[in-house]
Amino acid sequence: MTDRLRQHLKFFTDLSDPAWHALESHLEVKKLNRKDFLVKQGEKITEIGFLLSGSCRIFYDKDGTEWTTYFCFENNLVASYASCLTDQPSTLNIQALEDCELLTFDYSVLVGLYKQFPVYETFGRKLAEYLFMGLDVRLAEQLMLSPEERYLKFLGSPVKRKITERIPQQYIASYLGITPVSLSRIRRRIIPS
């Protein structure tokens, strides 16, 4: 089970056995039922999770209107990184869309490992770069593509295609920045019956 997290971290950097065991000793298994929250907006949460199974959505809530920004599936890290970095309450929510099992550890553990093993500083930098690139692409899509173009791009990604099989349409519409009715119209135009 923990080997999957170690394999995922290789995407960012390779850890020696001592470096890996230093993190592994702090890992805890956490289970979330569908609709449970890993992070709630307004709470200070410094926990980082690695999804072993299930899916989550990251969203903002403003006066009862929800804005989905990302979906996480198996073998993804998930956290309110801004809350971890600033030690301030989270501005976002992370909610389980399916029953989930995660490996978790506290951000303070990672900060301690930065000092003990420089390879974790490399991991932290590469993770920040990865998150920045994802946000940059997402922002460009929202600003430069029409709703129909966003949906076509969404369908063109193998990772995102699996979202359509597992995630309710209202959350996909929210992710695309459109209403569920608009999504239905776009789908009818693209995929005629």
pLDDT band at 41 (very low <50, low <70, confident <90, very high): very high
pLDDT digits (tens, 9 = 90+) for 87-125: 999 999 999 999 999 999 999 999 999 999 999 999 999
Q: What is the 3-state secondary structure (H, E, C) of 130-193?
A: HHHHHHHHHHHHHHHCCHHHHHHHHHHCHHHHHHHHHCCHHHHHHHHCCCHHHHHHHHHHHCCC
Nearest CA among 131, 126, 128, 129 for reference residue 13? 126
In angstroms, the CA 81 to CA 59 distance is 14
**Which position has the higher pLDDT, 161 or 53?**
53
Summarize pLDDT for 73-93 with one digit per residue, the tens: 999 999 999 999 999 999 999
Quick one: average pLDDT of 2-14? 94
Q: How far apart are CA 109 and CA 2, in angstroms?
A: 16
pLDDT (0 to 100) of residue 155: 82
The Cα 175–Cα 169 span in angstroms is 10
Question: Between 165 and 136, whose confidence is greater?
Answer: 136
Distance, in Å, from the CA atom of 44 to the CA atom of 107, rounded to the nearest integer, reads 12
Q: Is the pLDDT of residue 167 over 60?
A: yes
Identify the band that residue 173 occupies on the pLDDT scale cut at 50, 70 and 90. very high
Please give the mean pLDDT across all residues of the chain. Answer: 92
Q: Mean of the pLDDT values across residues 157-178?
A: 84
Q: Residue 193 pLDDT more than 70?
A: no
**Among the listed residues 3, 9, 26, 7, the one whose alpha carbon sits nearest the alpha carbon of residue 123:** 9
How confident is the model over 2-9, as a mean pLDDT?
94
Task: Name the DSSP letter for residue 80.
Answer: -
Give residue 192's pLDDT band: very low, low, confident or very high (50, 70, 90): low
In the chain, DSSP finds a helix count (H) and a strand count (E) of: 9, 8
